[in-house]
Amino acid sequence: MVGIGVVLWREGKVALIRRGKPPRAGQWSLPGGAQKLGETVLAAAVREVREETGLELVEPRIVEVVDLLERDEAGRVRYHYTLIEVTGRARGGEGEAGGDAAALAWFDPEEVAAMPLWEETKRVVRKAAEMIGEIGPPSGAAGRG
């Protein structure tokens, strides 16, 4: 399955959602979900951000493609997602959890690096920060969601 993850920025912080459903139910992760048939990658990213945060994704860019393999106790593959990671800015306020998201919060990139997250999530956030220039406070009004 193809999934979309979004490194969403607002005032130098990254949005994370607490997942309400498997895979990784109860854990913090990037907003995102499955791409629908006939939907482009960026359209899926915009839709997932809207569904899970109530915000508009602007300036979307592809960051990376990663594989998520989750196995059961016997070592058999339970889930295999090819994840296309996108980054962009949020427009529309602080947002609120919706869809598959049980909670929404904003974190400094340094906080994300210290959280008990999937290591690929941390790596993608670092790469997205370099791409979008969000490490440290944004300069001026440009970049504020």
- The C-alpha atoms of residue 117 and residue 52 are separated, in whole angstroms, by 19
Long-range contacts of residues 37-45, Cβ cutoff 8 Å, at least 24 apart: 41/4, 41/84, 41/86, 42/86, 44/4, 45/4, 45/6, 45/86, 45/88
Q: What is the mean pLDDT of residues 52-75?
A: 95
Res 135 pLDDT > 50: no
Domains and CATH numbers, the chain: 2-132 (3.90.79.10)
* DSSP assignments along 34-65, one per residue: EPPTT--HHHHHHHHHHHHHS-EEEEEEEEEE
DSSP-based three-state secondary structure for 29: strand
In degrees and rounded to multiples of 5, residue 21 shows phi and psi of -140, 160
**Cβ atoms 61, 114 nearer than 8 A:** no
23 band by pLDDT with thresholds 50, 70 and 90: low
The pLDDT value recorded for residue 91 is 94
* DSSP assignments along 66-83, one per residue: EEEEEE-TTS-EEEEEEE
Whether this prediction's pTM lies above 0.75 is answered by: yes
Q: What is the mean pLDDT of residues 2-8?
A: 97
The pLDDT value recorded for residue 109 is 93
